Structure 1
């Protein structure tokens, strides 16, 4: 498959091995912190984060109170799509270190009681992957070319794409190649960038390849996988055209997905993978990135398929009682139906940071990335983001945090175009996702804010990041960092993440206040722009455990959440 070694060192002991029962499986109520390696911590001064930098900062994550880390891809890659264009699935890109650095990072995480989830990218590879290069050289009809989705073009001379599919990154989803003899040849499918050809999952050799990849990282101690584009891989039989509207544009009804996503055959892949994970000790797990209609999610998870799938409905919910309540009730019911915990998430490397999203009116329609003329109310956005976080961390199931959200980092709007790397920007001129990937600030007065000792940073850090640096918030009462630490430790102490805890929505509250009962803890969120007076009784007199803003007795400020201990 590659030139990388397939042998693994003896894996480090995992954190607190226990008999695997639904009540004790770590992933059911874990808080997982997403590390975007390029932007987390730079150990060698080249301006790009790396695995030794992650290892060095692991104690910070332990002290924050998370249970696991998930690392975005650190594999060998040309970095045309932030590492999601993988050229070698079983080696580490030299930019990030080496396999021994990965082993050291996993071992150190386990010593600190942290689990490690790694990304796997099974829908496509880089066009620099050795197998795609072999496919180009081998020619039509060859076993090598059958590893990817190649097809003959339409038209008199095959000059038209095989169908009308378009790329997620804009433009056509097909690129025609020039054959070895110099003539125009077949077309290959790339649902994303032209540098990311799609694997052909109709080929058993592709299945074998990824089974080997899973075992390689499981043998090295990985506790699980986040599956990229988990609703992709299997394409509809015959590669049919997508439906078009009256204007001739591809028509995707609201709540639906393109024709090349969410085909039932992908479920068989997870049925194939699940026994592999179950054969290892330590409750290894799969969490899926599946942007599909909510009602389809239960099909992907369960005892014979994946363990979890991200609940993006909560991330997308507008600020307000009804929308946020619906984003809690429905996924809980869907997950309960198959015995799986819900996952909660507010930010990741693909979306606008929620400290900026919430700085707009609830009906604001976002494009792809935050444009320079979209200026959020930073104070309002952070207030609401802190409140939404307290609501999220009180809910049963697993919670996923994105690096820097514990600092209240905003989306960065004013990155110079020549420094942007997101293929969506390069292909279509949209702002793209780079604004959520700017390197972290660790030390307020250090070069590159402590990200890199040399002051280098692959994306520029805005001035406001200095005020939000880790050392500027540590030990400061009321800071976003300290609020996260308090909430995370209380969540663990009080068992709020336990999936069997149940959620009861409170009635008879002031208008615009969302109330959730979690056993001895009551969570109130004021979604209005004015303080509300709590009704006399237990709530008004309850013990305050943590709040997203300073409180006055008997009142709940605007855009504020609080955890109360009630008898």
Structure 2
């Protein structure tokens, strides 16, 4: 089977095949010695990012925030959190990145605000039914004296999606909706004041030179009129991709919001891009987010969560390309993010036990597979070093609200957010040179995984990424994909025109190759065969 489309001027837009590096600023590099990453640290390390061979970077939220949810609880969408720096630092970062040939995407977090946002404080001080409360979802409770939540909706982080307020006189008040933590009240996008203000947020950052937006919680932003109860069978916390037909997730109203944004972005000079965090049930639903008048691209979580199985992966790739073909939108591939278990750990799990050697081998092969597919790719900071999830963080260090909201049943996402190791043989590994300890503790076993250590090792994960991203520039705009063989053989084998052949062996035994590859994910067998859990590229 083959997938292809006509190449046009639009097809060659930079974002259609870009490699984009995600920076979680609190954990990337500390420039002022307080133990937390900041924009000065990012600026200082921009040459490293450019040297990877990526085209752009995406910076996770840098806005003022109480950090109840890692920066995704925003108090001001037009400023920078003081722990990260200043608006002047952000403008310098944009200038420096652009000078290095890097575009910059920023997070757009507008499904909700922080509970400390001025709007929400005004709403709490205002009376029920007031314009201030109309920006959010305030409702009277059900049952005797309104003591029960207005609906049966749940939070993605566990527990009810409703929290009751206290009136100024100390008596119980209305309830407010929060799809995530109670510190993150949902905005009501049927309010014209909300929509108009976010138009202004988009223009504010576009005028400062950002090259696009990653849209947080895109599937959650619209709620149906009347807020009907959900089917109890759908009430599964922290698995919103299972919330198909749920009234608080992936409803048709989200698309009106994105059409409005697209008009704002298209009216601005330049070639800016949007990418949706749209966790939905299947590729067909995802394709709705990237219709020609909506968002440009969307993360492919089905691929990210797919098992290490040739039949499964080939099916995901085929379904993705088929669903996107009618709109002409490019696919967007990623192996992880600041919300996901790192691939070394995820792919190394067998029978509930993680084998880091197996995981790193598979993660190297998965990287070559991902970079070979048509469309854009995202790389999460640290994956290029082969870092594993830190699964033994002490309980007192955990900060993710998922841990608290699930009473410890889920440890949350802190394990993929541990600060990066840059140099040296002991923590803090060059992440900070000040007296402040890293805000999350780093493992004592990372000395061989620092940038410094891997830079000088030709066989390191870092140098594999650099070479793969360099070679990718030669074939990334090649249209289409043509499969060879059958996935039941446990091998993925495909071509991108005459410029790339990619072969990935997911089976238990080595397989024959047509000759010496241009690039291996691991050293090949002495007889030239492709070992298990290994990928090979032939680049023309």
Q: Aligned partners of 2:358, 2:201: CA distance in 1, in Å?
A: 45
User: How is 1:382-401 mapped onto 2 (pairs within 5 angstroms)?
Assistant: 382-401=360-379
Instruction: Tell me the secondary structure at the aligned position of residue 98 of structure 2.
Output: helix
User: How is 1:125-164 mapped onto 2 (pairs within 5 angstroms)?
Assistant: 125-164=113-152
Could you say which residue in structure 1 is the equivalent of 2:521? 548
- TM-score, with structure 2 as normaliser: 0.94
Could you say which residue in structure 2 is the equivalent of 1:67? 55
Per-residue deviation at 1:454? 2.3
Could you say which residue in structure 2 is the equivalent of 1:444? 424
Q: Is the 8 A contact 2:241 2:279 kept in 1?
A: no
Could you say which residue in structure 1 is the equivalent of 2:440? 459
Which residue among 106, 111, 122 is the counterpart of 1:123? 111
**Farther off after superposition, 545-554 or 53-62:** 545-554
| 1:524 pairs with 2:531 | no
User: How is 1:353-432 mapped onto 2 (pairs within 5 angstroms)?
Assistant: 353-361=342-350, 375-428=353-406, 429=408, 430-432=410-412
Q: Is the 8 A contact 1:148 1:188 kept in 2?
A: yes
Per-residue deviation at 1:124? 0.4
Q: Is the 8 A contact 1:352 1:436 kept in 2?
A: yes
Which residue among 301, 306, 318 is the counterpart of 2:290? 301
Which residue among 257, 270, 292 is the counterpart of 2:258? 270
Q: Is the 8 A contact 1:65 1:485 kept in 2?
A: yes
**Farther off after superposition, 480-489 or 273-282:** 273-282
Q: Is the 8 A contact 2:242 2:280 kept in 1?
A: no
Per-residue deviation at 1:279? 1.6
Q: Aligned partners of 1:272, 1:439: CA distance in 2, in Å?
A: 37
Q: Is the 8 A contact 1:540 1:554 kept in 2?
A: no
Instruction: Tell me the secondary structure at the aligned position of residue 162 of structure 1.
Output: coil
Could you say which residue in structure 1 is the equivalent of 2:453? 472
Q: Aligned partners of 2:427, 2:49: CA distance in 1, in Å?
A: 22
Could you say which residue in structure 2 is the equivalent of 1:15? none
Cα displacement string for residues 172-191 of structure 1 (whole angstroms, at most 9, x for unaligned residues) = 11011011222211000011
**Farther off after superposition, 215-224 or 550-559:** 550-559
Q: Is the 8 A contact 2:240 2:279 kept in 1?
A: no
Q: Is the 8 A contact 1:150 1:189 kept in 2?
A: yes
**Farther off after superposition, 448-457 or 412-421:** 448-457
Q: Is the 8 A contact 2:427 2:443 kept in 1?
A: no
Q: Is the 8 A contact 1:442 1:470 kept in 2?
A: yes
Q: Aligned partners of 1:88, 1:140: CA distance in 2, in Å?
A: 24
| 1:319 pairs with 2:300 | no
Instruction: Tell me the secondary structure at the aligned position of residue 146 of structure 2.
Output: coil
Q: Is the 8 A contact 1:302 1:340 kept in 2?
A: yes
Q: Aligned partners of 1:197, 1:417: CA distance in 2, in Å?
A: 27
Q: Aligned partners of 2:277, 2:243: CA distance in 1, in Å?
A: 16
Alpha-carbon distance change, 289 to 252 in structure 1, aligned in 2, over 3 angstroms: closer
Q: Aligned partners of 2:133, 2:367: CA distance in 1, in Å?
A: 47
Structure 1: state its 5+ residue gaps.
1-19, 365-373
**Farther off after superposition, 381-390 or 270-279:** 270-279
Could you say which residue in structure 2 is the equivalent of 1:181? 169
Alpha-carbon distance change, 476 to 347 in structure 1, aligned in 2, over 3 angstroms: same
Instruction: Tell me the secondary structure at the aligned position of residue 164 of structure 1.
Output: coil
Q: Is the 8 A contact 1:139 1:180 kept in 2?
A: no
Query: Which stretches of structure 1, 4 residues or more, deviate above 3 A after TM superposition?
Result: 248-255
Q: Is the 8 A contact 2:289 2:295 kept in 1?
A: yes
Could you say which residue in structure 2 is the equivalent of 1:562? 536
CA RMSD across the alignment? 1.9
Instruction: Tell me the secondary structure at the aligned position of residue 514 of structure 2.
Output: helix
Could you say which residue in structure 2 is the equivalent of 1:281? 269
Q: Aligned partners of 2:405, 2:338: CA distance in 1, in Å?
A: 19
Per-residue deviation at 1:509? 8.6
- How many pairs does the alignment contain? 526
Could you say which residue in structure 1 is the equivalent of 2:45? 57
Q: Is the 8 A contact 1:447 1:454 kept in 2?
A: no
Q: Is the 8 A contact 2:500 2:538 kept in 1?
A: yes
Per-residue deviation at 1:375? 4.1
Q: Is the 8 A contact 1:252 1:258 kept in 2?
A: no
**Farther off after superposition, 110-119 or 234-243:** 234-243
Instruction: Tell me the secondary structure at the aligned position of residue 402 of structure 2.
Output: helix
Q: Aligned partners of 1:244, 1:303: CA distance in 2, in Å?
A: 35
Q: Aligned partners of 1:262, 1:333: CA distance in 2, in Å?
A: 21
Could you say which residue in structure 2 is the equivalent of 1:6? none
- TM-score, with structure 1 as normaliser: 0.90
Cα displacement string for residues 347-374 of structure 1 (whole angstroms, at most 9, x for unaligned residues) = 101110001101013xx6xxxxxxxxx5
**Farther off after superposition, 102-111 or 549-558:** 549-558
Q: Aligned partners of 1:168, 1:358: CA distance in 2, in Å?
A: 25
Alpha-carbon distance change, 436 to 253 in structure 1, aligned in 2, over 3 angstroms: closer
Q: Aligned partners of 1:28, 1:34: CA distance in 2, in Å?
A: 17
Q: Is the 8 A contact 1:444 1:467 kept in 2?
A: no
Per-residue deviation at 1:280? 1.9
